[in-house]
């Protein structure tokens, strides 16, 4: 029996992996403060994939896109990839190669992939799917606090609060064990849908605020207005610990709850009630404001996250014991994945790639000249959008991601993937993206390799190896090392051993905002709660400095120690319903599936429970559009179409339909979503697309 952590979401619930009858493996919950002995159904069934017949156990290669992928040996596959990469770089320059990473990769893989892109390939064109996850909250957190860590406090702190406001998060379905920490007497859920979380809040006497999709900024401004109008703003805190309140307040002045009601559809009395519940809790036992993808995945997601942070700051929550603001990171290593160099503009430890001191530090660890590290690249969607186009990458290496299903305007992106000269995908099953590739490299799964993950609290965890990968499978680190060697880099630069990579990562992040230098294997093994920053001790060989479960208690990370209000204004969504597209489509996750579904759609129990795409429609809307319960519907936006089974729900909005994004083929919800980008975070507008809906024959 091996203690490790779940392969899926950012809670990183602890689990034991052990052999089961018939040569299978099983996962059982383990004790850990985050999941307290619980797992969701995805966690319980996660081990099924370890022995799944769909596992790839040999590299696949085709030299002609019209041909079938055929099994080859590893040398043939890696020699082919390295040869093509060398040729493309020679003909078109280093930026002709792009790298697309993942918030599911371990810290070690994220680190080595960033180094591989910049040193072995010499390209600036690296970004990752976390750009589509919490990048807006990260940008807003940096703006407000000078540092972004999803939850700047342990999850367990939430249990003591008197009120928690969840903006655009549905943990009852996406992270069920988190609900055990949301026992606050007043739970306030902001979501256009009556989700399981919203229902739980209502059942417990809490509040559900259901704004029109895309109007969350206006709602947050309304709450700020209502809180101050009721005398609940913490004026002492604002004076002592923040700057910029007056300009931010000017933006909130016109947002009387009645005005907010006109724009958001949320009753003015509910706006006042929610503001009062939160404000009174802030003066009592404590309150939290938490955001999720519903608030963040918009073309104005950064400003919306800032609007919620402004509310939290006005109530005096951040940097206070028992209160705070946080973002519920989604992917398993959504936190660590964004810290170690996969992002187009970052070097390990959250160092800025444009900062000369940061470049110098990292270059010294890498043993290169700072000038050898390319400058900033372009964001994930922009990278995919220019694949194969003049000046864009002609080759793409994809690790741990399935962009053919998971990116907005996915049909368009599949065309771009097909326009490359070389597409290489490292995965353990033939995902929709792998099926388009020239080379597929079969890699190990979570329980088959060592590594560390950083969960949504910034707590670094050890993922332990429970079993060997199947014969013919390599780890991502071995793949990166093998390619780097073939591209002429010395073996010492790209070790394939997670422990060696972690040691280098610690050195690279020493003194950085996300400082891992004190996170030693011994401390991890001892189960210490290591929330970064966790610097090494000041005295060589002396005791390490304490880790930091709670950030900002003494001051914020801006040079003056104060948090910043950001003035934000409501803006309508990038696309409004209208002629030909009368409804809003919003998308999200469900209990049974994870991300693009490449893993969970292959797990019997989960596939049986949620076998295909569905669309949630109000009965009146269904009648208006000729739809019948459990019949099929075709949804169409300006970018594409999808098929889904109709689920009627009386609690749904009449102007909005909802579809999960876990399915591929003709049921790909992201074929419809809008790639309009946030100007700061470059987050696409996943949550609002104008669509029409009509009955369709079964596929
Ligand atoms: Fe895994 Fe997340 Fe479920 Fe926990 S809540 S078992 S981490 S998917």
> Tens digits of per-residue pLDDT, 636-677?
999 999 999 999 999 999 999 999 999 999 999 999 999 999
Ligand 1 centroid–CA 47 distance in Å is 13
Q: Cα 458–460–463 angle (5° rounding)?
A: 135
* 666 CA distance to ligand 1 middle (Å): 28
CB-defined site of ligand 1, < 6 Å: 6, 8-9, 11-13, 35, 39-40, 42-43, 175-177
Which pair of structure tokens corresponds to residue 398? 């994809």
- pLDDT class for 538, splitting at 50, 70, 90? low
Atom of ligand 1 nearest to the CA of 44: 6
Report the chain's terminal Cα–Cα distance, integer Å. 44
Mean of the pLDDT values across residues 485-494? 97
DSSP annotation of 175 reads S
Domain 2-51, CATH: 2.20.25.90
- What is d(CA 495, CA 498) in angstroms, rounded to the nearest whole number? 8
Q: Of all atoms in ligand 1, which is nearest to the CA of residue 175?
A: 5
- List CB contacts of 601: < 8 A, sequence separation 6 or more: 593, 607, 662, 663
Residue 45: Cβ within 10 Å count: 18
| Candidate of 8, 174, 328 to mutate for ligand 1, largest count of ligand atoms within 8 Å of Cβ | 8
Helices and strands (DSSP H and E) totals, the chain: 23, 30
CA angle 264, 686, 139 (to 5 degrees): 85
Instruction: Dump the DSSP string for 288-343.
Output: EEEE-HHHHSSTTHHHHHHHHHHHHHHTT-TTSTT-EEEE---BTTHHHHTTTT-S
How far is ligand 1, taken at its centre, from the CA of residue 644, in Å? 26
Burial (0-12, 13-18, 19+ Cβ within 10 Å), 607:
middle
DSSP code string of 350-364: TEETT-HHHHHHHHH
Distance 24 CA to ligand 1 centre (A): 20
Tokens of 69: 């992928």
Q: What is the tens place of the pLDDT at every residue in 338-351? A: 899 999 999 999 99
pLDDT recorded at residue 270: 98
Nearest residue (CA) to ligand 1, atom 3: 40
Ligand 1: which residue has its CA nearest to atom 2?
9
3-state secondary structure 512-548: CCCCCCCCCHHHHHCCCCEECCCCCCCCCCCCCCCCC
Q: Whole-model pTM? A: 0.96
Q: Are 15 and 4 in contact (CB under 8 A)?
A: yes
Q: What is the mean pLDDT of residues 530-550?
A: 83
For residue 5, the ligand 1 atom closest to its alpha carbon is: 7
How sure is the predictor about 133, in pLDDT bands with cuts at 50, 70 and 90? confident
Sign of CA dihedral 422, 426, 432, 435: positive
CA of 591 to the centre of ligand 1 (A): 10
Note whether 295 and 531 are within 8 A (CB). Answer: no
Regarding beta strands 207-209 and 186-190, do their DSSP bridges make them parallel or antiparallel, or are they unpaired? parallel
Q: Where along the chain do its domains lie? A: 2-51, 60-128+364-510, 135-328, 583-696
φ/ψ of residue 32, rounded to 5: -170, 140
- Residue 537: pLDDT band with limits 50, 70, 90: confident
Say if residue 540's pLDDT is above 80. no
Predicted confidence (pLDDT) per residue in 20-72, tens digit: 999 999 999 999 999 999 999 999 999 999 999 999 999 999 999 999 999 99
Task: Output the DSSP codes for 147-164.
Answer: S--S-SS-GGGGGG-SEE
Q: Which of 5, 39, 446, 605 to mutate to test the pocket of ligand 1 (most atoms within 8 A of CB)?
A: 39
> For residue 153, how far is its CA from the centre of ligand 1 (angstroms)?
19
Residues 6+ apart with CB under 8 A from 54: 429, 430, 602
**Angle subtended by helix axes 356-366 and 498-509, to nearest 10:** 150
DSSP alpha helix (H) spans, 370-447: 380-385, 403-406, 410-418
Here the tokens at position 47 are: 């081990």
Answer yes or no: are the C-beta atoms of 266 and 317 closer than 8 Å. no
Which carries the bigger pLDDT value, residue 84 or residue 329?
A: 84
**pLDDT for 539:** 66
Mutate to test the pocket of ligand 1, among 176, 454, 455, 457 (most ligand atoms within 8 A of CB): 176
Closest ligand 1 atom number to CA of residue 15: 6
Q: Which atom of ligand 1 is nearest to the CA of 41?
A: 3
* pLDDT at 545 > cutoff 90: no
- CA–CA dist 201, 167 (Å, integer): 13
- Distance (angstroms) between ligand 1 centre and the Cα of 289 equals 22
CATH number 3.40.50.740 is the correct assignment for the domain at 60-128+364-510: yes
The CA distance from 643 to 666, in Å, is: 6
pLDDT at 544: 75
Fold of 583-696: Barwin-like endoglucanases (2.40.40)
- pLDDT tens-digit profile of 559-578? 999 999 999 999 999 999 99
Q: What percent of the chain has pLDDT over 70?
A: 99
pLDDT at 542 over 90: no
Q: What is the Cα–Cα distance from 149 to 147, expressed in whole angstroms?
A: 7
Q: Which atom of ligand 1 is nearest to the CA of 7?
A: 1
Beta bridge partner(s), residue 561: none
Whether the predicted pLDDT of 4 surpasses 90: yes
Q: Where are the beta strands (DSSP E) in 59-210?
A: 60-61, 70-71, 97-101, 126-128, 163-167, 186-190, 207-209
* Separation in Å, CA 660 to CA 226, 228, 299, 586, 647: 34, 37, 20, 9, 12
CA dihedral 618, 619, 625, 631 (to 10 degrees): 100
**Predicted local confidence at residue 449, as pLDDT:** 97
pLDDT in tens, 592-628: 999 999 999 999 999 999 999 999 999 999 999 999 9
Pocket test for ligand 1, best of 35, 445, 603 (most atoms within 8 A of CB): 35
Give 191's pLDDT tier (boundaries 50, 70, 90): very high
135-328 matches 60-128+364-510 in CATH topology: no
Each residue's pLDDT tens digit, 274-323 = 999 999 999 999 999 999 999 999 999 999 999 999 999 999 999 999 99
Instruction: Classify domain 135-328 by CATH architecture.
Output: 3-Layer(aba) Sandwich (3.40)
Tell me which of 43, 46, 181, 593 to substitute to probe ligand 1's pocket, judged by most ligand atoms within 8 Å of the beta carbon: 43
CB 366 within 8 A of CB 119: yes
Cβ-count burial of 68 within 10 angstroms (0-12 exposed, 13-18 middle, 19+ buried)?
exposed
Q: Which residue has the tokens 């490292």?
A: 426
pLDDT at 185: 87
Higher pLDDT: 42 or 699? It is: 42
> Which residue out of 5, 11, 45, 197 has the highest number of ligand 1 atoms within 8 Å of its CB and is therefore the one to mutate?
11
Looking at residues 234-240, what average pLDDT do you find?
A: 98
Nearest CA to ligand 1 atom 4: 13
Cα-to-centroid distance, 325 and ligand 1 (Å): 22
Contact 470, 55 (CB under 8 A): yes
């Amino acid at each position: 029996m091996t203690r490790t952590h779940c392969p899926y979401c950012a809670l990183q619930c602890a689990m034991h992996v052990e052999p089961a009858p018939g040569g299978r493996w099983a996962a059982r919950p383990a004790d850990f403060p985050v999941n307290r002995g619980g797992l969701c159904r995805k966690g319980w069934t996660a081990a099924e994939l370890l022995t799944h017949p769909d596992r790839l156990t040999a590299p696949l290669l085709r030299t002609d896109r019209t041909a079938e992928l055929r099994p080859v040996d590893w040398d043939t596959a890696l020699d082919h990839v390295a040869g093509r990469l060398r040729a493309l770089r020679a003909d078109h320059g280093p930026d002709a190669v792009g790298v697309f990473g993942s918030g599911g990769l371990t810290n070690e893989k994220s680190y080595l992939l960033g180094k591989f892109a910049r040193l072995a390939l010499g390209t600036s064109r690296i970004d990752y799917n976390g750009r589509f996850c919490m990048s807006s909250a990260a940008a807003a957190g940096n703006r407000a606090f000078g540092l972004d860590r999803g939850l700047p406090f342990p999850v367990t702190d939430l249990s003591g609060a008197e009120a928690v406001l969840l903006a655009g998060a549905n943990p009852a379905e996406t992270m069920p064990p988190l609900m055990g920490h949301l026992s606050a007497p007043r739970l306030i859920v902001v979501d256009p849908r009556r989700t399981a979380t919203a229902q739980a809040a209502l059942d417990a006497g809490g509040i559900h605020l259901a704004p029109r999709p895309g109007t969350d900024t206006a709602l947050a401004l309304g709450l700020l207005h209502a809180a101050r109008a009721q005398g609940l703003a913490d004026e002492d805190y604002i004076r002592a610990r923040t700057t910029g309140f007056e300009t931010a307040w000017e933006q909130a002045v016109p947002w009387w709850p009645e005005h907010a009601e006109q724009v958001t559809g949320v009753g003015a009395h509910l706006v006042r009630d929610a503001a009062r519940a939160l404000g009174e809790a802030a003066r009592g036992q404590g309150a939290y404001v938490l955001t999720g993808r519903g608030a963040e995945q918009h073309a104005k997601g950064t400003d919306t996250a800032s609007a919620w942070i402004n509310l939290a700051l006005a109530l005096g929550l951040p940097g206070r014991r028992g209160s705070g603001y946080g973002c519920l990171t989604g992917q398993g290593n959504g936190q660590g994945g964004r810290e170690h160099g996969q992002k187009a503009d970052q070097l390990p430890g959250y160092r800025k790639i444009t900062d000369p001191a940061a470049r110098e530090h990292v270059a010294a660890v890498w043993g290169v000249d700072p000038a050898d590290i390319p400058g900033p690249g372009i964001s994930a969607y922009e990278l995919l959008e220019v694949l194969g186009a003049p000046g864009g990458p002609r080759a793409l290496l994809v690790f741990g991601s399935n962009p053919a299903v998971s990116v907005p305007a996915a049909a368009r992106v599949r065309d771009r993937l097909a326009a490359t000269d070389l597409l290489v995908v490292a995965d353990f099953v033939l995902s929709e993206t792998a099926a388009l590739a020239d080379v597929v490299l079969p890699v190990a799964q979570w329980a088959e390799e060592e590594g560390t993950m950083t969960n949504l609290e910034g707590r670094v965890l050890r993922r332990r190896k429970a079993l060997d990968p199947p014969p013919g499978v390599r780890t991502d680190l071995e793949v990166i090392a093998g390619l780097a060697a073939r591209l002429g880099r010395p073996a010492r630069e790209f070790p394939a051993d997670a422990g060696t990579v972690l040691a280098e990562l610690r050195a690279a992040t020493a003194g950085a905002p996300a400082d891992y230098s004190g996170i030693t294997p011994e401390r991890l093994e001892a189960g210490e709660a290591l929330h970064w920053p966790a610097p090494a001790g000041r005295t060589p060989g002396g005791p390490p400095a304490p880790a930091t479960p709670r950030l900002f208690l003494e001051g914020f990370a801006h040079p003056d120690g104060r948090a910043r209000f950001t003035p934000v204004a409501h803006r309508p969504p990038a696309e409004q319903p209208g002629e030909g597209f009368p409804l809003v489509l919003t998308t999200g996750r469900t209990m049974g599936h994870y991300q693009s579904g490449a893993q969970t759609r292959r797990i019997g129990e989960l596939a049986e429970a949620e076998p295909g795409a569905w669309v949630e429609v109000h009965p009146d809307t269904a009648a208006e559009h000729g739809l019948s319960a459990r019949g099929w519907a075709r949804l169409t936006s300006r970018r594409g179409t999808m098929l889904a089974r109709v689920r009627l729900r009386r609690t749904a909005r009449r102007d909005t339909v909802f579809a999960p994004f876990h399915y591929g083929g003709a049921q790909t919800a992201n074929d419809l979503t809008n790639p309009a980008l946030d100007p700061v975070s470059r987050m696409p507008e996943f949550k609002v697309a104008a669509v029409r809906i009509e009955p369709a024959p079964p596929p």
